[in-house]
Structure 1
């Protein structure tokens, strides 16, 4: 498995799992029914975006960069999506480790995830394994397709 910067030509490989993840309604608050072009803009524009591939097949993607502009730009953030057929193979962990190191290399002071769905226990566990702490939970802030309204964790990793 290798990680590289995403190119526009990667979108056709990312789109199917991006769409499946969003339409499942369990982890992301992107609008349901998005077109490929809308989703491409949300995912590929304005951030450092990478793909993890194996044997020329994209298994996952991550986007990262400043959490806020201007005076908040010293704190980074990220979003991660893994193809359902590749789950349980360490793809998310590899992308997460990459993102932490990338933020360090870019001089960020910390990483803040604004909205980790509390019922997404695999992601919560991964981020905690990588040193993130839950610093708060916004109650009933995410409308899960399966669980109804559940909390969104704000997770933080100090890079100093």
Structure 2
């Protein structure tokens, strides 16, 4: 993994990102997007204003995975980060997700977020659940039958949360 690095994504990365995105969407087991999501919609998703997008690259810039980081909510909820991840099917099982997860936690802290929340982790996505628990996230809510899995039908989704800083040290912003 020494020749793999994480860097900000650029427009030139999108062709490879689109391929990874399409494979996850076609699988229909982990992401809410479906087969009708257009290339333009996917581009907007990964490169929307206010979204920081990162890619894991190997050697000659081969993209192995990506994540996007943004505030989970506006205004009074903007101190909590939200992130989404995808790893190339050709790079799964070798630690790319862990690398991206660790990087995103560090980047969220660097950007000043105090916590991180995943709004929709599919309950049957055992790899993701294992990874997020290993990185300190907890399941704080269950959304019964909220995801329409391509093979299994309706399955639960989880809300997962991690504090990035001790709340006793959180400074309150000046009143709006």
Judge same fold: TM > 0.5, yes or no.
Answer: yes
TM-score, normalised by the number of residues in structure 2: 0.89
117-126 vs 33-42, greater mean Cα deviation: 33-42
Structure 2 matches for 1:140-155, cutoff 5 A?
A: 140-155=145-160
Residue 49 (str. 1) matches residue 53 (str. 2) = yes
Separation in structure 1 between the aligned mates of residue 164 and residue 41 of structure 2, nearest angstrom: 33
Q: Give the secondary-structure state (helix, strand or coil) at the position aligned to 2:131.
A: helix
Ranges of 4+ aligned residues in structure 1 off by more than 6 Å: none
Residue 19 (str. 1) matches residue 22 (str. 2) = yes
Separation in structure 2 between the aligned mates of residue 32 and residue 70 of structure 1, nearest angstrom: 33
Separation in structure 2 between the aligned mates of residue 68 and residue 30 of structure 1, nearest angstrom: 20
TM-score, normalised by the number of residues in structure 1: 0.97
Separation in structure 2 between the aligned mates of residue 52 and residue 128 of structure 1, nearest angstrom: 21
Aligned to 1:114: 119
Q: State which of 43, 49, 52 in structure 2 corresponds to 1:40.
A: 43
Q: For structure 1, which runs of at least 5 residues remain unmatched after alignment?
A: none
How big is the shift at 1:31? 3.3
What RMSD in Å do the two structures reach over aligned CA positions?
0.8
Kindly name which structure, 1 or 2, has the bigger radius of gyration based on alpha carbons: 2
Deviations 1:15-42 (A, max 9, x none): 0110110121111111322221221111
Aligned to 1:30: 33
Q: For structure 2, which runs of at least 5 residues remain unmatched after alignment?
A: 166-176
Q: Give the secondary-structure state (helix, strand or coil) at the position aligned to 1:10.
A: helix
The answer on whether the counterparts of 1:23 and 1:33 sit within 8 Å (CA) in structure 2 is no
How big is the shift at 1:136? 1.0
Separation in structure 1 between the aligned mates of residue 41 and residue 73 of structure 2, nearest angstrom: 22
